[in-house]
Structure 1
Amino acid sequence: MSSPAPDTREFPLSVQQEFLWEGVRFRSLGRSIASRGNPSIAVELAGTLHLGRFRRALELMVHRHESLRTTLTDLGPAPLQRVADGIEPPFAYVDLAETVPHDRRLATARALVAGDQGGEFDLVAGPLWSCLVVRVTPSLHVLSLSFSHLIIDGVSLVGFLRQLGRLYEGEELAPLKQQYRHFAEESRRPAADTAARVGYWQERLMPLPGRLPFPTDYSATPPPLISFEEEAFRSPHTPQQLREVSLRNSATPFTLNLAAYAAVLARTGGAERVVIGSSVARLDLKADDDQLGYYLDNIFIPVLVRPKDTVGELVQQVRGAVVEAQRNILPYTELAAALKPDFAQSRPWPGIHLYDAWVRGRVFEAATDTAAAASFGGTTVKLFPAAGGSSPRAVVDPRHQEAYARYYLPSLYLNDAAGSNGYIEYNRAVFARHTVHRLADRQQAFVGHLADPRTPVDEAWHAVKSTTEGKRRLS
């Protein structure tokens, strides 16, 4: 008697998703596992929106992409992904035009979008995404899209909105070359030089980062709450000045900003070594630009901030470390097992143990480009700003307390390719807003001092500190 054929609708997580899943399980200790709606985007559609055509476009997207029909089989350490044959699009419509006074409609729409984007998805029951349309006036709608990060990344978010608009306009899209399952399968093929990559990370990350000495406004040992806030910043340097700094250092704006942030963190805390976490998109394994899924690999960049080095040497060190980190990418479970012998017994043990702070480039650049490029008939499409941050959550599990007492430094996110603006995400139970303002000021001022690569790091730091000491821009 032959064994039953395997269910082709079920397949393992990609190695990229495994990193996320370890973090989801860790953050959910002591409570049910759910996924917050992230990434998300909201856009204004100015003009006439035909709801029937819009719903039909959503149905076609669901049929086209397995990722939009994906859930998990269980909440254990190694769940499978399950693809449903079909689902009803998770679509909600709210009409404010007849029920809310005109002067309160945009504020009400923002509150609705914030609620949609801050919601949680049941990872087993699904669906793992949502679509909200808010009618503000007959000629103005707000479209909000929110996803579990397990099924989509920022690049795929771009693709979703663009494809949705093309389907809304009646375009017949070419069949996909592959689905996310094929990427997941390809991602799990072992590298020929796995042993060498393990050795690289053991040399670069051991000993694992400890608690970086950095002054806080409130206790961080352990933090009583996890309550993230976002604080925007804008570079004091012109785009031309930033381009010149990049050219003088033969480095990208991302590398410059990462080097400057590592230097400010290290010098503020009196440390010499800072490990920065970041992510890169594995588009080399993606066969189709329209394919939706999670394609980010995480990298870890140890930075030695030596006062006698020049800032040019610091930038070149960071540039080399970024290149080597990408060259030695390992599946998270293999990397963690190599660095922590009792990893299997310690799980969930997330990647926050491997870095001090996070820096990522161009978080919303793709979304901004999408809003400009997307089209829904005769409507004008532009971004609809929504509130960032998160609701407070008590830190009660001892493992949470240990990890978050060490990983407490704010993270830096760049919004555009030039590095001219972005935001810092911080735990408001640990840092006051004016402290984060000063941190952003110092980071951006240090970028300016990279204009002369011959400047010693110590000299640049003292110049930055003297110009930003006590500087507070409360608003």
Structure 2
Amino acid sequence: MSDPASAATTGEFPLSVQQEFLWEGIRFRSFGRSIASRGNPSIAVELAGSLDPGRFRRALKLMIRRHEPLRTTLTDLGPAPLQKVAEDLEPPLAYVDLAETVPGDRRPATARALVAGDQGGEFDLVAGPLWSCLLVRVAPSLHVLSLSFSHLIIDGVSLVGFLRQLGRLYEGEDLAPLKQQYRHFAEESLRPAADAGARVEYWRDRLLPLPGRLPFPTDYSATPPALISFEEENFRSPLTPRQLREVSVRNSATPFMLNLAAYAAVLARTGGAERVVIGSSVARLDLKADDDQLGYFLDNIFIPVLVRPKDTVGELVRQVRSAVVEAQRNILPYTELAAALKPDFEQSRPWPGIHLYDAWVRGRVFEAATDTAASASFGETTVKLFPAPSGSAPRAVLDPRHQEAYSRYYLPSLYLNDAAGSNGYIEYNRAAFAQNTIRRLAAHQQAFVSRLADPQTRVDEAWRAVKSTTEGKQRLS
């Protein structure tokens, strides 16, 4: 591997194995176009106080010189593109002054609309740039800053790393040189694991047969749905953080494992299935050379869960705990994993990872970063998160080749916001579900977590208790 200290600041290099999984999905969703428009990691903050736009732009230029991912594009849209690092890049900064053009009572809504447009924007993966920066002047001493990136060049934890470093550069601080650039991490990731063969066999044993479309009741009859339009429904646990910690200790499991086990049980029991495969992301902070390094450092794991009615909920959690640990121990590059599970993988590409799981449950990958955004500073400004609208605009699925795979997006996914697992949201397709149905699903999931307080309770008993406490106003299906 080349020496990070003497590495060139331009050139081409392959995707990391972490990016390969992501790229397969992006390529599939882009329908051969040179853009990607969904799942952009984004953050928006409100800056209260004096802000100098000239100093801000200079800080952006320094960030671009400091981090290769901010100058990165792809060479092509094929199955194995190279990443290309430009020598320099003009900051992709849009500055909008509402203070002089929009009445005061309309400025907050206008700012929210501008942020939503920025965060839902599309990036040309070949032409670049693969990120955008929007600075909105709402009042003389109030700005809103929105940052949005293609997922290929950044992960959620890196969002706040970007924000903090940008603030330090704005304040004139000299930052220590990075220990390495993302290219060096990518090169290292391509080295095959010594036990790669054993990992292949592990996944063949766990994921075959591949998940089918889980039988699960929807509110609308389109199968597959003609539209994909994502919305988020927030939830909060009926248990206090202290009670959740006690449940975790009683089951010798993390809050993430508890929520995953409960969600798998609710999906399986509602759909009348026994096996559910849950996909998830693992933030690999251990792979970063230093805290300031930006890039995509997520690995993806898949957890098959057998929801047997006669098992105790304690046995269910232990099964999940073991599966999560083993999945992390056997992480495999996506192309190798897919080829092992689907012999005609190369002929079927793009073949996204959504074929490998029924639903997604994510721990606090992004939220763990964004809830600390206030620790950033820009001179004398006060920094706090700016709430941007959630959800996405409806998108029609017209190509028959994509309808079967896109139909798999119908199953709602669960996202946790805090370390205690006490709140989060469910992302769902409005073309398949009504809001009240998702509220009921969230209530079922959280009620099942509560039932884990007694590990000796059987799964079928816990499910009956969950339904009896949350049923009544509306049926799930």
TM-score band (shorter)? Answer: over 0.9
Q: Provide the residue aligned with 2:88 in structure 1.
A: 86
Deviation at 1:372, TM superposition (A): 2.1
Residue 331 of structure 2 corresponds to residue 329 of structure 1 = yes
In the alignment, which of 203, 206, 214 is matched to residue 204 of structure 1? 206
> 3-state DSSP class of the match of 2:259?
helix
The residue type paired with residue 420 of structure 2 is: A
In the alignment, which of 409, 427, 432 is matched to residue 430 of structure 1? 432
CA–CA distance in 2 between the matches of 1:364 and 1:337?
30
CA–CA distance in 2 between the matches of 1:19 and 1:138?
44
CA contact (8 A) 1:283 1:295 kept: yes
CA–CA distance in 2 between the matches of 1:170 and 1:31?
41
> 3-state DSSP class of the match of 1:150?
helix
The residue type paired with residue 42 of structure 2 is: S
CA contact (8 A) 2:11 2:85 kept: yes
In the alignment, which of 165, 168, 176 is matched to residue 163 of structure 1? 165
Deviation at 1:285, TM superposition (A): 2.3
CA–CA distance in 2 between the matches of 1:295 and 1:31?
25
Q: Provide the residue aligned with 1:143 in structure 2.
A: 145
> 3-state DSSP class of the match of 1:230?
strand
- After superposition, the Cα gap between the structure-2 partners of 1:216 and 1:316, relative to the gap in structure 1 and judged at 3 Å, is same
The residue type paired with residue 299 of structure 1 is: I
> 3-state DSSP class of the match of 1:201?
helix
The residue type paired with residue 19 of structure 1 is: F
* CA deviation vs aligned residue, 1:84-121 (integer Å, no higher than 9, x gap): 00000101111111111111111100000000000000
CA–CA distance in 2 between the matches of 1:472 and 1:175?
58
Residue 397 of structure 2 corresponds to residue 410 of structure 1 = no
Q: Provide the residue aligned with 2:100 in structure 1.
A: 98
Percent identical among aligned pairs is 87
- After superposition, the Cα gap between the structure-2 partners of 1:7 and 1:241, relative to the gap in structure 1 and judged at 3 Å, is closer
CA contact (8 A) 2:9 2:85 kept: no
CA contact (8 A) 2:9 2:68 kept: no
CA–CA distance in 2 between the matches of 1:233 and 1:295?
28
Q: Provide the residue aligned with 1:356 in structure 2.
A: 358
Q: Provide the residue aligned with 2:296 in structure 1.
A: 294
Deviation at 1:470, TM superposition (A): 3.5
Q: Provide the residue aligned with 2:132 in structure 1.
A: 130
> 3-state DSSP class of the match of 1:88?
coil
Residue 392 of structure 2 corresponds to residue 390 of structure 1 = yes
Q: Provide the residue aligned with 2:4 in structure 1.
A: none
Deviation at 1:183, TM superposition (A): 0.5
Deviation at 1:365, TM superposition (A): 2.8
Q: Provide the residue aligned with 1:469 in structure 2.
A: 471
Deviation at 1:368, TM superposition (A): 3.5
Q: Provide the residue aligned with 2:264 in structure 1.
A: 262
In the alignment, which of 171, 174, 179 is matched to residue 172 of structure 1? 174
CA–CA distance in 1 between the matches of 2:195 and 2:407?
35
In the alignment, which of 6, 31, 36 is matched to residue 29 of structure 1? 31
Q: Which 10-residue stretch deviates more, 335-344 or 165-174? A: 165-174
The residue type paired with residue 258 of structure 2 is: L
CA–CA distance in 2 between the matches of 1:84 and 1:210?
43
> 3-state DSSP class of the match of 1:38?
coil
CA–CA distance in 2 between the matches of 1:246 and 1:407?
30
Q: Which 10-residue stretch deviates more, 406-415 or 152-161? A: 406-415
- After superposition, the Cα gap between the structure-2 partners of 1:306 and 1:37, relative to the gap in structure 1 and judged at 3 Å, is closer
CA contact (8 A) 2:43 2:370 kept: no
CA–CA distance in 2 between the matches of 1:161 and 1:203?
43
Deviation at 1:403, TM superposition (A): 1.3
Q: Provide the residue aligned with 1:154 in structure 2.
A: 156
CA–CA distance in 2 between the matches of 1:234 and 1:364?
18
CA contact (8 A) 1:363 1:416 kept: no
CA contact (8 A) 2:35 2:122 kept: no
Q: Which 10-residue stretch deviates more, 31-40 or 449-458? A: 31-40
> 3-state DSSP class of the match of 2:76?
coil
* CA deviation vs aligned residue, 1:310-347 (integer Å, no higher than 9, x gap): 11111111011000000000000000000000000000
The residue type paired with residue 350 of structure 2 is: P
CA contact (8 A) 2:363 2:416 kept: yes
CA–CA distance in 2 between the matches of 1:368 and 1:78?
32
Over the aligned positions, Cα root-mean-square deviation in angstroms equals 1.5
Deviation at 1:283, TM superposition (A): 2.4
- After superposition, the Cα gap between the structure-2 partners of 1:472 and 1:31, relative to the gap in structure 1 and judged at 3 Å, is farther
- After superposition, the Cα gap between the structure-2 partners of 1:202 and 1:220, relative to the gap in structure 1 and judged at 3 Å, is farther
> 3-state DSSP class of the match of 1:236?
coil
Q: Provide the residue aligned with 1:313 in structure 2.
A: 315
In the alignment, which of 105, 119, 129 is matched to residue 121 of structure 2? 119
CA–CA distance in 2 between the matches of 1:125 and 1:183?
24
- After superposition, the Cα gap between the structure-2 partners of 1:329 and 1:449, relative to the gap in structure 1 and judged at 3 Å, is same
CA–CA distance in 2 between the matches of 1:67 and 1:324?
31
Deviation at 1:59, TM superposition (A): 0.7
CA contact (8 A) 2:62 2:169 kept: yes
CA–CA distance in 2 between the matches of 1:158 and 1:264?
34
Residue 282 of structure 2 corresponds to residue 280 of structure 1 = yes
CA–CA distance in 2 between the matches of 1:460 and 1:376?
51
Deviation at 1:472, TM superposition (A): 5.8
Q: Provide the residue aligned with 1:376 in structure 2.
A: 378
